[in-house]
Amino acid sequence: MAAKERKGSGPGKVGEDSEQYGCGVGSAVTAAINRGFVVGREVLVGSIPGIVVGYNIANFGQFVGNAYPLVVRTALGVTKCGMDEVSLA
């Protein structure tokens, strides 16, 4: 039995024009690295201390990587952050 071809849009679907949304993710992550936000680096999210644990490479959804390129672990949990929301500790 062959798999059905899925058409339309819905949760988990990536449209044909998704390339335009992901074009800034790589440059946003590169900019974050160049500004010193590397994995393992201690940062402040507002006044809450945290550690950069990764980079957000999502190109669809509510928190896309070009706006929120950093993944930071704090005592309150893991969050995706923009570079304007964090500072180097």
Residuewise pLDDT in 10s, the chain (89 residues): 455 454 544 444 444 444 444 458 899 999 999 999 999 999 999 999 999 999 999 999 999 999 999 999 999 999 999 999 999 98
52 vs 78: CA distance, rounded Å: 10
Q: Which pLDDT belongs to residue 5?
A: 53
Q: Could you give the residue ranges of the DSSP H alpha helices within the chain?
A: 19-22, 25-34
Q: Is 52 exposed, middle or buried (0-12, 13-18, 19+ CB in 10 A)?
A: buried
Helices (H) and strands (E) in the chain, counts: 2, 5
pTM of the complete model? 0.73
Question: Would you say how long the chain is, in residues?
Answer: 89
Q: What is the pLDDT of residue 45?
A: 97
Sequence-distant (≥ 6) Cβ neighbours of residue 69 within 8 angstroms: 25, 28, 29, 31, 32, 55, 56, 82, 83
CATH of domain 38-89: 2.30.30
Domain spans, the chain: 38-89
